[in-house]
Amino acid sequence: MVSLQNSLSIHRFPSSFPLLGSQKQGTVNFWRRCAPPLNVKAEQASSSSSTSRSPDRTPRRQMIAVGIIAPWVSLVGQNSLSFAAENKKGYISVLDKNDGYSFLYPFGWQEVVIEGQDKVFKDVIEPLESVSVNMIPTSKQDIKDFGPPQQVAETLIKKVLAPPSQKTKLISAAERNVDGKTYYTFEFVAQAPNYTRHALSTISIGNGKFYNLTTGSNERRWEKMKDKLTTVIDSFKIFNV
């Protein structure tokens, strides 16, 4: 446990709890999708007009269009099926080939950028519903080297996963093995003056890094969200890079 505390003191990653209210200003930037080009309708109108002026050329134009578009549609369809086959319904997959991890998050959550965190996705309406991934370097080869699940979980919650001002409680901690790699998974609550967050966290070691994924929701929505959040936790996988 001493080695874990030393690692956290040197490489402390940011709290996995989302920033709320005015704290978000200047820190969190939302990725916005660009709107469809405004000239699409103009192009369609132009094409329609051209067709009406030259009806005899329409079959030839259609044949050319079909010849060009059909292979592209077929390719897109194949990719879509492949993508869907790799995901669970209602979730979107994240695959980070550089850092060597993957996980699922609920459809509808948006990616946000928080300095110091590798990945963050959250519900913009319910900001306590989020998932974040953090990593710190480590010389350890297995999460067991830091101690048993409950002790490691308690240290992480107090030192990293919740602000010092919040009252925390560890509910459960367990060890699981996936493809020969050990993960610690634990459940806890953190109480602030104006809300209580119910959270799940999983940790493991690989590629010379200590990985942590944490997800959660407001306590009042826990019963509704716990199955989804459990799916997120269980989906987290580390692979060699």
CATH of the domain at 230: 3.40.1000.10
Using one digit for the tens of pLDDT, what is the confidence trace for 21-36?
Answer: 333 333 233 222 222 3
pLDDT of residue 87: 67
Domain of 67, in residue numbers: 40-85
User: Are 148 and 206 within one domain?
Assistant: yes
Is residue 159 included in any domain, yes or no?
yes
Tell me what percent of the residues of the chain surpass a pLDDT of 70: 64
Query: Tokens 């050990």 appear where?
Result: 182
Query: Tokens 């806890």 appear where?
Result: 188
User: Are 60 and 120 within one domain?
Assistant: no
Using one digit for the tens of pLDDT, what is the confidence trace for 162-216?
Answer: 999 999 999 999 999 999 999 999 999 999 999 999 999 999 999 999 999 999 9
Is residue 26 included in any domain, yes or no?
yes
pLDDT of residue 116: 86
- ∠ CA 53-58-60, nearest 5°, is 140
- ∠ CA 134-211-91, nearest 5°, is 75
pLDDT of residue 88: 83
Residues with Cβ < 8 Å from 209, sequence gap 6 or more?
A: 99, 100, 135, 136, 137, 138
Q: What number is the average pLDDT over the span 35-50? A: 35
Q: Place 81 in a pLDDT band, splitting at 50, 70 and 90.
A: very low
Stronger pLDDT, 224 or 34, i.e. the higher one? 224
Structural domain count of the chain: 2
User: Are 71 and 94 within one domain?
Assistant: no
Distance CA 183, CA 171 (A): 17
Is residue 112 included in any domain, yes or no?
yes
Distance CA 201, CA 110 (A): 20
Is residue 150 included in any domain, yes or no?
yes
Compute CA distances 29 → 32, 52, 127, 216, whole Å: 9, 47, 14, 20
User: Are 56 and 138 within one domain?
Assistant: no
Is residue 35 included in any domain, yes or no?
no
Q: Which residues pair with 121 in a beta bridge?
A: 111, 131
Strand pairing category for 29-30 and 110-113: antiparallel
